[in-house]
Structure 1
Amino acid sequence: MKNAMKIQVRCLAIICVMVISLTSCLEKSKNKKTTAISKKEIAKPSIDIHTAVLTGNLKAVKQHIEAGTDINQKEAMSGSTPLMSAATFNKPEIAKVLINANADLSVKNNDGGTALHTAAFFGRIEIVQLLIDAKADKNIRNNYGATARETVMVDYAQMKPIYEMLIQQLQPMGFTLDLNELQKARPVVAMMLQ
C-alpha cells in the first residue's frame, strides 16, 4: 500500500511538471520565425515542433522532420520530447511519424520517464503498441523507480482524482481523456507491457 501511494504521488509530481511545461510551449511558438535550412532550402514551419504536436498539426511536424529539426529536442520545463507530447495528447498519427523518423525511444524527461511511460500512464493503447512494435524498452525505470507498466498498476480509484485534475488543467490546450475508456485501458496496457 505504501508503495502504491509513493507511485501515485510520484506520478502526480511528474504530471504537474508536464502541465507547466506544455503550457509554456504554446507561448514560445508565437515568437518563432520561419527559416530555411540545408541546400534544399526546406523551411521550418512558423510554429515550433512541440506546439505542432500539441495542436495536432501533422503537416508542420512532417515539415520539421524534412527541415532537419531535432525531433528529440526537449522542451525546457519538463524535458518532454515531441513524442512524449504526442502520447500525452493522444496523437497516434504524429507519434507514428516521429517513430518512423527515428525518434529516440529511450530519451527521458526530467523525471526519468520515457514516451512509453507517458503513453502507458494515459492509457494510449495505440501509441503503446506503436512503441512496443518499435522495440521501446519496457524495463526502463523513471527517477522514482517505476517502469511504464508500474505506472498503470496503481488502483484506478486512487489515480482518478489525478486524472480529473489533469483533464481540468490541460483541456484548454486540447487535451482529452475519457475516464471510462481509461479505466478499461489501464489493465490492457499493463498486459501489453508484461
Structure 2
Amino acid sequence: MKTQINNWRRLTIAFTVLTFLAVLNACKEKKESSPDAVKPTETVKQPAVDIQTAVITEDTAVIKQYIAAGTGLNTKDPIGGSSPLISACLFGKTEIARMLIDGGADLNLQNNEGSTALHTAAFFCHPEIVKMLLQKGADKTIRNNYGKTAYESVEGAFAEVKPIYESLGNILQPMGLRLDYSQLQKTRPVIAALLR
C-alpha cells in the first residue's frame, strides 16, 4: 500500500511539475489575437497565439482558427507532452474539449507520463468530458506509464489520493485550477461507473 501511495506521489509530482511548466511556457508566449472572423474562402493561417494558451484562457476564436487551419490540435507541449485536449481536460474546459474533439483532435494521444485525455478528465472528475470522450471512441484500456487505466485512476479510496489533489491544487491554482475536494470525492464513483 505504501509503495502504491509513493508511486502516486511520484506520479503526481512529475505530472504537476510538467503541467505547470508547460502552461507557464504557453502563457509566456501569449500574444493578442485578432477578433476578426475567419472567412471560409480564405486560406487559413495558424493563429499567432499558441493553442495551449488559447485552451487555458478559453479563447474559442483562436481554437476555431486552429481547427480551420487544420493544425496544432495534436501539438504536444514541449515540457510535459500534454496535448491541447489533455490541457482542456485538466482544467475542466468542457466547451473547449468539445471543440477539440469535434475538430479532430487525437483522443488517445499520450503525454510524457502516458496519460490520455480520458485519464486526465477521469482523475479530475469532469463527467461531461469523460462522456464525450467515450462517445467519440476514446480507448479506456490504455495504461499510462504507471500501469493505470483511466478507471484505475479513480477506483481507489479518495483518502489515498487526496494528497495528490491537494498538491496539484496548490501548484496549479495560479493558472486557474480550482478543486472542490468534496465534489471530487462525490464524483469519483460516478466517473468509475462511466468507465467500467
Q: Normalising by the residue count of structure 1, what TM-score does the alignment of the two structures yield?
A: 0.89
| Match for residue 142 of structure 2 among 140, 143, 146 | 140
Alpha-carbon deviation of 1:32?
9.6
Q: Which moved more, 1:177-186 or 1:1-10?
A: 1-10
User: What is the aligned partner in structure 2 of residue 11 from structure 1?
Assistant: 11
Offset, 1:44: 3.4
Secondary structure in 2 aligned to 1:74?
coil
Look up the equivalent residue of 2:24 and give its one-letter code.
T
Post-superposition Cα deviations, 1:60-90, rounded to whole Å, max 9, x if no partner, equal 1111111222200101000000000000111
Question: What secondary structure does 1:42 align onto?
Answer: coil
Count of matched residue pairs: 191
Which amino acid is 1:160 matched to?
Answer: K
User: Which residue in the other structure is 1:85 paired with?
Assistant: 87
Give the whole-Å Cα distance in 1 for the aligned partners of 2:23 and 2:156: 25
* Counterpart contact for 1:138–1:149, Cα < 8 Å: yes
C-alpha root-mean-square deviation of aligned residues, in Å?
A: 2.3
**Which residue is equivalent to 1:151?**
153
Matches within 5 A, 1:35-184: 40-184=42-186
CA contact (8 A) 1:7 1:154 kept: no
1:117 & 1:80 partners in 2: Cα distance?
A: 12
Aligned partners of 2:111 and 2:99: how far apart in 1? 20
Give the distance between the partners of 1:144 and 1:72, measured in 2 at CA: 23
Q: What is residue 21 of structure 2 aligned with on the other side?
A: 20
Match of 1:187 among 180, 186, 189: 189
Structure 1 CA distance for aligned equivalents of residues 90 and 25 of structure 2: 15
On the 8 A contact 1:10/1:144 being kept in 2, the answer is no
Q: 1:148, 1:193 within 8 Å by CA — same for their partners in 2?
A: yes
**Structure 1, gaps ≥5 residues long:** none
Equivalent position amino acid for 1:42 in 2: V
Runs ≥4 residues deviating over 6 A: none
Distance change in 2, residues 1:62/1:176 (3 Å): same
Gapped regions of structure 2 (runs ≥ 5): none
Asked whether the equivalents of residues 9 and 164 of structure 2 are also in contact (C-alpha less than 8 Å), the reply is: no
Amino acid of the structure 1 residue aligned with 2:114: G
Indicate the SS of the match to 2:171. helix
Measure how far apart 1:30 and its partner are.
4.1
User: Take 2:30 and 2:42, find their aligned partners in 1: how far apart are those partners?
Assistant: 24
> Alpha-carbon deviation of 1:108?
0.5
Q: Secondary structure at the match of 1:127?
A: helix
State the TM-score, normalized to the length of structure 2.
0.88
Conserved in 1, the CA contact under 8 Å of 2:89 and 2:117? yes
